[in-house]
Amino acid sequence: MEGVVYTSKNYLPGVLAETGLPDGSVRSFGKWTGADSATGKSWELISYHTWDFKDGLIISGGDYFDAGGLLASLKEESPE
């Protein structure tokens, strides 16, 4: 992959589900863009990321996106 860039639409404070109060975690919605080195096809991928912190360090995180859809979109088309 080449020219991979993440553009955040926003960063949001995470909250405890039970109370709705901020818990120090961070959430982000955004878009990844780039190009496949093998095919030259450009791509974009909408994503959601999470980071949980303890004592100022990231202790866990999560990434949510359609990886299968991205890979399928980059497949070279077979000649008919």
Q: What is the pLDDT of residue 77?
A: 67
In angstroms, the CA 29 to CA 51 distance is: 12
Take residue 7 and report the two structure tokens written for it. Answer: 């553009």
Kindly give the confidence (pLDDT) of every residue in the chain, 80 residues in length, as a single tens digit, with 9 standing for 90 and above. Answer: 999 999 999 999 999 989 999 999 999 999 999 999 988 899 999 999 999 999 999 999 999 999 998 888 888 766 66
